[in-house]
Amino acid sequence: MFSIALRPPAPLPSRRPLAYLLLTGVLTGWCLHAAAQLAPAAGAAVPGAQSLPPPPLPMEEVRLFAQVLSQVREAYVEPIDDKTLLENAIKGMLAGIDPHSTYLARDDYDALQETTTGEFGGLGVEVSIENGFIKIITPMDDSPAARAGIKAGDLIIKLDDTPAQQVTLGDTSELLRGEPGTSIRLTILREGLPEPFEVKVTREIIKARSIRYREAEPGYGYIRIAQFSADTGNEVVEALGKLQAGETPLQGVVLDLRNNPGGVLQAAVGVVDAFITEGLIVYTKGRLPNAEMRFEATPEDPSRGVPLVVLINSGSASASEIVAGALQDSKRAVIMGTRSFGKGSVQTVLPLTNDRAIKLTTSLYFTPSGRSIQATGISPDIVVDRGQVTRIADSVAAYREEDLTRHLQNANGSDAPSTAPAENVTAPAALPQPKVSAEDVLVPDYQLNEALNLLKGLNVMKALR
């Protein structure tokens, strides 16, 4: 048997400690200063909305915050310094706004830079917060997470022994990243499975490979963009040039944006600009004037107007949706696959000090026709779910007209040589193993196979016209 002594927190002393009084004064002064600084922004006109005066500063709430701060400092089981409490308060404030706004300490800011410009140690996943859990938007190609079997849509409910509900988005990035060679144990909840399961993943140096490309079939190029980093636009232009320099004239391109979590906005603009020669690509709307941007295409056409199919799915987010939406609105490409993720917001890094900043959602972006992608995504022109093609070859002993005894010869003199009579046809003991063709490689990827079939059909119709 054991007992627990319960008692109410000790009442606060009637005379506040000097630190508390100073802190209250600092907070009050800071809030008044912030209100004065933000008043023009709060009253700025939002497109499509009526201008309203800024609301009065809720001083009672400021006092409540100071009171809670004092209670925690005096009554919490272990001492906590004021800096830690204030930083946690900032993190909680941003985490409560939306899933993408967060507080960036020095390490967080360095990590953000690494994801867009260089290398970092981690698992190679893009995550968001959903209902208190950490949701995998997509694992990066050939990353430790992808090799461990983690999939888009998985929910992380525990990191080692830390429940996911106890961490913010910024904390999640810090926990998932780390020194190469170190490991983390993730408890995963996956739709369709009755019980959570654990996966141990070892961190590696994640090289942000932007694109891969190849000739999928003679005359048809395949460009896969894993994420949008600073130089992705130039890499796509280079890939188009090499595909066009192949032995077979380029007749079409598949641009694969599936499971692409996004990245640098300007990189998405550069990719669209590689395929169109005029018109609007994307624009943003926000409360502040500097949050509004417009990007237009340049006259150059590295793609030379070849037919284009863009593949998307539920893991295609942010910059991927900018590309798909712009190419769809400009009628430059056929969008194929399933509806995209629906992240249509833009985050801006706002410095606070030399080593701290906040990543704040400051605007929404819109496709050239004025569609907001936020929470709706891009709907494909042709819906193609994931699947797998099973190739069924003709039987070795299949019969055709040319195999029949006494068949008539072709009127154009191009009759194929007749095989032996039917009764003499026997299967060879061992068939030669054919080389694996590019087409055979595509068979397991049903969506890519359908994209290539569509490109071929477009070229057939073009020839007929």
Catalytic residues: 318, 329, 343
Crossing angle of helices 82-95/169-176, nearest 10°? 110
Angstrom distance (rounded) from CA 15 to CA 127: 47
Amino acid, res. 136: I
Other CB atoms within a 10 A radius of the CB of residue 70 amount to: 19
Other CB atoms within a 10 A radius of the CB of residue 43 amount to: 12
Strands 357-366 and 280-286: antiparallel
N-term to C-term CA, the chain:
89
Angstrom distance (rounded) from CA 121 to CA 111: 9
Least Cα distance to 102 among 128, 75, 130 occurs for 128
| Beta-bridge partner residues of 211 | 225
Q: What Å distances lie between residue 222 and 51, 236, 297, CA to CA?
A: 49, 11, 23
Angstrom distance (rounded) from CA 189 to CA 270: 37
Per the CB < 8 A criterion, the answer to whether 434 and 391 are in contact is no
Least Cα distance to 310 among 355, 353, 340 occurs for 340
Angstrom distance (rounded) from CA 151 to CA 163: 20
The two tokens of residue 315 are 């893991």
Amino acid, res. 455: L
Per the CB < 8 A criterion, the answer to whether 271 and 232 are in contact is yes
| Alpha carbon 463 to chain centroid, angstroms | 37
Angstrom distance (rounded) from CA 186 to CA 160: 6
